[in-house]
Amino acid sequence: MLWLIAIALIIFGLYMVIRGLIEKPRIEESLEYFDLERGEEVIVKPKKKREIKTGGVVLIGPIPIVFGESRYAFYALILAIILMILSIVFFMLFI
């Protein structure tokens, strides 16, 4: 039963990575319309483009490789440490 959960988590992780690579941030185009109250054409320009900041950790054995913007990379590193500790605890409990 535990192996089924592990496979489901691996598939979910791969799905999230692929989805993150495929999705692009939405870029709004300028909107033109005629304002009846003013009696003139109005052009609404989009706001500035948003910056996308990310961070991540790749674990190759016991060696973590951290990348990304510093704050998010720090969060990812903390999460990786927690996951490593949990995996050691589960390994010791089930073996």
pLDDT-derived band at 12 (thresholds 50, 70, 90) equals very high
pLDDT-derived band at 11 (thresholds 50, 70, 90) equals very high
With tokens 């706001």, the residue in question is: 47
First to last CA, the chain: 15
Alpha helices in the chain (DSSP H): 2-22, 70-94
Beta strands 31-35 and 63-68 are unpaired
| pLDDT, average across residues 55-83 | 81
| pLDDT, average across residues 66-74 | 80
Amino acid symbol at 55: G
